[in-house]
Amino acid sequence: MKSGFIGIIGRPNVGKSTLLNAILGEKIAIATDKPQTTRNSIRGIYNDEDTQMIFIDTPGIHKPRNKLGEYMTGSALATFEEVDVILFLVDDELSSGPGDKYIVELLREVKTPKYLIINKIDTFGPDKYKQIFDEYSELGMFDGILGISAKKNTNVSDVISTVKRHMEDGPMYFPPDMATDNPVRFLVSEIVREKLLMYLNEEVPHGIAVEVEYFKENPKMTDISVVIYCEKKSHKGIIIGKQGHTLKGVGVAARKEIEALLGCRVNLKTWVKIKENWRDSDIALSNFGYYEQ
């Protein structure tokens, strides 16, 4: 048996969660077109006949503007030293902005095998791909460079086979039928947060936290109560929407996906509460499961 851990890193909105889902062949990480969708490191477990690989989808590395941002970036950076292989996702030239340059500088001294993954190749032509490839290749710090489209599942199998070569003899850390070690309550809260990200405008989503307040499995139906926290009274109105339409739409979309996850009918109740400046509160961040005090 061979096994090991792989970190998926990159700046926000580059497709890390989409890649993880593509590798596993099922959805365990929420993915939207909003930056900073992923807040916690999420572990996805890939099994084949002789190997178990644990992929860690990390929050997008960015310059923090609050304590939540500090936690997210710190969580991603901690992955560097804890894994056997690093996959660094990009979707643009190194010269296009400071975000990827910052990550490159962090990676320079890291001895862990690292691969550059050029994602979203379905959205640009060969000239742009060559420019991205050449700029990163000149750095001389990557063990290899692969072009993929996580969304279209293009060349994802190449990523799997490349990483597998670095796995060494080791234990099976998780049962073979397990796709993630994240608890069901966490997955439910993430599904609700994903639907909120999809329904709402740019500013409100970053000020939202979702907490599963009640979860009880019954023979015919599972009862779940979810509290959505926001930072401002005006945000609460936006989340609820005119005559409650937005919150109802979020609830219906989330319930369908939660029922598919649990394999049973679900009675989902959603509530919206205000908790001002929770992203800069150690107590609130701890209560929402982002870190221990």
Residues 262, 222: contact at Cβ < 8 Å?
yes
Q: How far apart are CA 272 and CA 104, in angstroms?
A: 40
Sequential DSSP letters for 84-138:
SEEEEEESS-GGG-HHHHHHHHHHTT--S-EEEEE--GGGS-HHHHHHHHHHHHT
Question: Would you give the end-to-end CA distance of the chain in angstroms?
Answer: 38
Burial label for 230, CB within 10 Å (0-12, 13-18, 19+), is buried
Residues 6, 83: contact at Cβ < 8 Å?
yes
Tell me, what's the pLDDT at 62?
A: 59
Tell me, what's the pLDDT at 64?
A: 62
Tell me, what's the pLDDT at 37?
A: 54
Kindly state the tokens that stand for 34. 């909003």
Tell me, what's the pLDDT at 293?
A: 35
Which residues of the chain fall below pLDDT 70? 30-41, 59-66, 68-69, 71-77, 202-205, 289-293
Does the predicted model carry a pTM greater than 0.85?
Answer: no
Kindly state the tokens that stand for 137. 């290749």
Q: How far apart are CA 204 and CA 177, in angstroms?
A: 37
Tell me, what's the pLDDT at 148?
A: 97
Tell me, what's the pLDDT at 42?
A: 76
Q: How far apart are CA 103 and CA 116, in angstroms?
A: 12
Q: How far apart are CA 273 and CA 233, in angstroms?
A: 9
Tell me, what's the pLDDT at 218?
A: 84
pLDDT digits (tens, 9 = 90+) for 134-149: 999 999 999 999 999 9
Burial label for 15, CB within 10 Å (0-12, 13-18, 19+), is buried
Per the listing, tokens 């700029």 go with 135
Residues 57, 279: contact at Cβ < 8 Å?
no
Tell me, what's the pLDDT at 292?
A: 46
Residues 20, 42: contact at Cβ < 8 Å?
yes
List of domains in the chain: 2-169 (3.40.50.300), 184-287 (3.30.300.20)
Based on its alpha-carbon atoms, the radius of gyration of the chain, rounded to whole angstroms, reads 20
Tell me, what's the pLDDT at 33?
A: 63
Distance between alpha carbon 237 and the CA centroid of its chain, in Å? 27
